[in-house]
Each structure stands twice: as C-alpha cells, then as structure tokens.
Structure 1
C-alpha cells in the first residue's frame, strides 16, 4: 500500500506531467509498477519498518488512468498546491515518526523469524561445522539407499513369541 501511495504521489507531481506519460500508457503503467515494487523491495531488509502502514486527487488520478482507456488524452491537470505540499510533508513526518515510535516500542520484542531459506542455510552451515552433532555423521545418500533396499529385501520374521515355553 505504501508503494501504491508513493508511486501515485510521484506521478501526481509535475514529473507525472511529462509528455512521455501522455503519449504511452505502457510507459506510464510500467513506471508506476516499478516505483510501486521498489518500495517493498527497499523495505524487505527491514520488515518491521516496512509494515508501518488522501490526497483525493492523487488516488483519483491513478483510478481514472486505470478505468479510462483513453486517459492519456484526457489528463486532468490539477496543480500541486501549497496545501498538497503541506499534506505531503505531514505524511512524511507521520511516516518517519511512526517508524521511530514503532522501533522504540518493539526494541524489546523478538524480531520477525528469518525466512525458511535463511534458516536452511544456517542449519546447513551448522551441520558442516558441528562435528558433535549426530546428523553430521549421517552416511552418504547412496549408502543409506543401499541399506534401505537391503532392509526391504530381507524376509520379515513372523510376529509372535520366539522363546520356548517354560513348563
């Protein structure tokens, strides 16, 4: 959502008024998508900060572009007014203060769990270096396969008692 708002805000500024965005919808939407995707990619390293989450014309501009197939020819040019700059500044201040406040509140709590891939890499590295770990002494896969085949080929003994009865 933050990526959507930032992309909408960037393309609502005079940068979004460039002639290239009016001529081609593909350029507009690819730029919008790239900006929208860069924001979560930027925050992927800091998941706690990335989870912190109207100007009406900003979102209206994107919705009009989405719903109207010929929007590039009927662009509503609304000037970015002083109140818009004030609201945008308030958004930035609220966002930064929200991140700082959340970091201060959450500093005593445990972090998000690492990704499964990262946990797998750590476990693999631990197994390589920890000689005392029983899983370190696991036989290679071909040997385990041959052992398992031998177990399956061996005749199973009938269930029951194997000792003679004492009278």
Structure 2
C-alpha cells in the first residue's frame, strides 16, 4: 500500500555485474533518479522520501558485491527496511541461473554465473542490514570470509 510522502523504488542492487544479471540498468541511473527526485521534492517544498528495495544473494552476487552494496547504503544513509534474500520462482531467468549456474540469455552463451548457496546467502542479507544489532555477528563473519575485516569499523560503528 502507498504511504503519503513515500515512493517505493526497486533498484535491487548497485553492483554492475549483478544488475546486468538482473537485466536492470546501471546504478548510475538510480543515483541520477535519486538526485532528480530530491531536487524536485525540495522545489515543491515537500518532505518526501524514497524507500528503496534491495535483494541479497541474487545470482551473480558475490560476497564482494554484497559488501559494495552495504557500503553504498552506508554512504547514502539508506537504511533498508525491505531486504529480501533471492528466492527462486518458477519461470524466471534468475531461477534458471540459480539452478544451473549459467546465464541463459541471448548473447551470454550459457556462461558460468556465480550463485551464492547455503550460509553465504544469509551473510549477504545480513550485510545489507548491517545496522541491525542482531546481524552484527553475521556481518563480522561475512567481512572475515571476504578478508575485509577493515570495514567493520565503518559498517558496525555505533551511530
């Protein structure tokens, strides 16, 4: 349902490789939209907000891609309420990628595609909601697995 002053949008990710696998445009387009929306809202003298939706562990999303998205969220101060772990649904290209580990789209020639499985899926999701206290141990585990413990002081700093 719609809430006055809030526009729900679905950029889903910011990694160019993941966006390509999703068949979505560059993250630069989303950033440009955010800037234009903010500018238009200010000109109208209104307080309106974008509510972005992101997805974790989509085929092609590596731990590094999830970290990139977490850092983007930190930088832009988006605190995602709605984050979903990729869930395969029948009849979609993404589900085909998930089960086969290949990209079936024309021009991709069934190229291998990375698919996070098992615990890594949960770790990627935790990274996107790094601000939640209950995710702290998972975020630390994810950063350690990615050899990026240096980012803990940024993502887990008390605000």
Report the TM-score range of the alignment, normalised by the length of the smaller protein.
Answer: under 0.3
Q: Which has the higher strand share?
A: 2
Q: Which has the higher helix share?
A: 1
Query: Which is greater in Rg?
Result: 1
TM-score, normalisation: structure 2: 0.26
